[in-house]
Amino acid sequence: MEKSRLQQQRPVAIWLYIGVGMLIVQVLLGGITRLTGSGLSITEWKPILGALPPMTEAAWQAAFDKYKEIAQYQYVNRHFTLADFKSIYFWEWLHRNWARFIGIVFAIPFIYFLIKKKIDRSMVQPMIILFLLGALQGAIGWLMVQSGLNMEDLYVSHIRLAVHFIAALILLCYTYWFALKLSTDKREIVKVPGMRKLNLWLLGILTLQLIFGAFMAGLHAALVANTWPDINGMWWPSTMFTQGSLLTDITHNAITIQFIHRGLAYLITILIVIWWWKASEAPGHSLLHRIRYLPLLLVLLQVMLGVLTLLGSQVRIPLLQGILHQGVGMLLLLSLVWTLYLSRNKAV
């Protein structure tokens, strides 16, 4: 019975896993767009017509002239030639077009599966939610870009950047959870006392850490203190909690944000070590027992990449280390979603 269910749902599950892979690529493209300073190069929102880049030199010049009207060009990139502009335009264009491609990859197979009756009634509502989350993410992305299209701000709002990033991760995790439901043998789901609660706490703290990671990225906070394990020679920097209210400081003071980001990294590492120890109590034949090392290895790798990214942030944040840090962070998140699915003690 269970084997028959999994076999029947296999095509839909594969489609969803392809979507998970494409969403990971999209978030990484967003990271490259951010690290290369490309996010404000396209100053218009054209969901359909914007799929094509400028096709003539005159069209390229017109797009460049629009970019010249914002503060980022005036105060950061005034030295740019048209060729320089084309290089940053490419990454933003690719980021937007990959989003369009994801929409097509989700929509066409969805229609096919409906016609072929591969999608039962229980799947329809989650599918609708999935599409709505995707559409919402596009709107959030444009609101984020809009925050930098003026003569006052050099970059997009780091708060909106964090919202855009977390919304993408919610979409990613939702798609992954849906795929797990369609592809995981129910006999692999086990109950270990205290395991699910610890897993949920880890996901909550990791989400908070990812928000502060987005703040770090948006404020280029690695550049203000690129030493480790100390922070510019101090363990408790004197410039922390000096910018107004507590809420203002923890969301706008780069030093405070970096201090919190580091502290959360250490806390998560300790909690995952405890989680790994608890996971050893899972039945030896279970999938959960076999993959219990995955979150531990990923968090250790993530901490190492975070330190390397920080130490390499001398004039600018290094592209390769920054993208690897973001990518491993996503994999760590997905690994904890996977272990939560395998250790849940009720139907979800």
* Mean pLDDT to the nearest integer, 247-266: 96
154-167 pLDDT, tens digit each: 999 999 999 999 99
Ranges 3-12, 96-105, 124-133, 208-217: which has the least confidence = 3-12
* Mean pLDDT to the nearest integer, 118-131: 87
Q: Where are the domains of the chain?
A: 1-183, 189-348
Q: Whole-number mean pLDDT of the chain?
A: 93
* Mean pLDDT to the nearest integer, 266-272: 98
In the block, tokens 């706490």 appear at 201
At 2, the pLDDT band (50, 70, 90 cuts) reads low
pLDDT in the model for residue 120: 83
322-334 pLDDT, tens digit each: 999 999 999 999 9
Ranges 3-7, 29-33, 248-252, 268-272: which has the least confidence = 3-7
DSSP string, 118-130: -S-HHHHHHHHHH
pLDDT over threshold 90, residue 179:
yes
pLDDT over threshold 90, residue 47:
no
64-107 pLDDT, tens digit each: 999 999 999 999 999 999 999 999 999 999 999 999 999 999 99
* C-alpha–C-alpha distance, residues 330 and 302, integer Å: 10
Let me know how many helices (H) and strands (E) the chain has, helices first: 12, 0
* C-alpha–C-alpha distance, residues 160 and 38, integer Å: 16
What is the crossing angle of helices 254-279 and 293-311, to 10°?
160
* C-alpha–C-alpha distance, residues 326 and 306, integer Å: 9
* C-alpha–C-alpha distance, residues 324 and 298, integer Å: 12
The b-or-e profile of 226-265 (16+ CB within 10 A means b, else e) is: beeeebeeeeebebbbebeeeeebbbebbbbbbbbbbebb
pLDDT over threshold 90, residue 151:
yes
Which percentage of the chain shows pLDDT scores above 70? 98
* C-alpha–C-alpha distance, residues 275 and 260, integer Å: 22
194-216 pLDDT, tens digit each: 889 999 999 999 999 999 999 99
How far lies 343's CA from each of 140, 194, 274, in Å?
33, 10, 15
CA atoms within 13 A on the CB side of 342: 20
The phi, psi pair for 284, rounded to 5°, reads -60, -25
Partners of residue 231 on adjacent β-strands: 234
The phi, psi pair for 177, rounded to 5°, reads -60, -40
280-309 pLDDT, tens digit each: 998 888 999 999 999 999 999 999 999 999
The phi, psi pair for 281, rounded to 5°, reads -80, -10
Collapsing DSSP to helix, strand or coil, 155 comes out as coil
